[in-house]
Amino acid sequence: MTELTNPYPRLIEIGAQIDNHESDLYVLATPEVLAIVKASGYFYQAFRSELDGKTWLDVPFAFLPFWEAKQGKAA
């Protein structure tokens, strides 16, 4: 079984174009981004944006700031 590593910090580090909806991370698909997301072990799905016509990746539950805010509210 693959150990999960949240891809968000690495994607920020490389300057990837990121968006989100609640806990779901959306990231513009590039070869480097795809390699990072695949290596993370997280499930992802590619989709074509109706806004810009580009291919993005939807990575459910991987938008780290959402979870950090949840932890802060619970503390």
Q: Report the pLDDT value the prediction gives residue 3, as an integer from 0 to 100.
A: 85
Q: pTM of the full predicted structure?
A: 0.90
Tens digit of pLDDT at every position of the chain (75 positions): 568 999 999 999 999 999 999 999 999 999 999 999 999 999 999 999 999 999 999 999 999 999 999 998 765
Task: Find, among 53, 47, 54, the residue nearest to 21 by Cα.
Answer: 47
Q: Where are the domains of the chain?
A: 8-74
Q: Report the pLDDT value the prediction gives residue 25, as an integer from 0 to 100.
A: 98
State whether residue 50 is helix, strand or coil: coil
Handedness of CA 38, 40, 44, 46 (dihedral sign): negative
Q: Report the pLDDT value the prediction gives residue 35, as an integer from 0 to 100.
A: 98
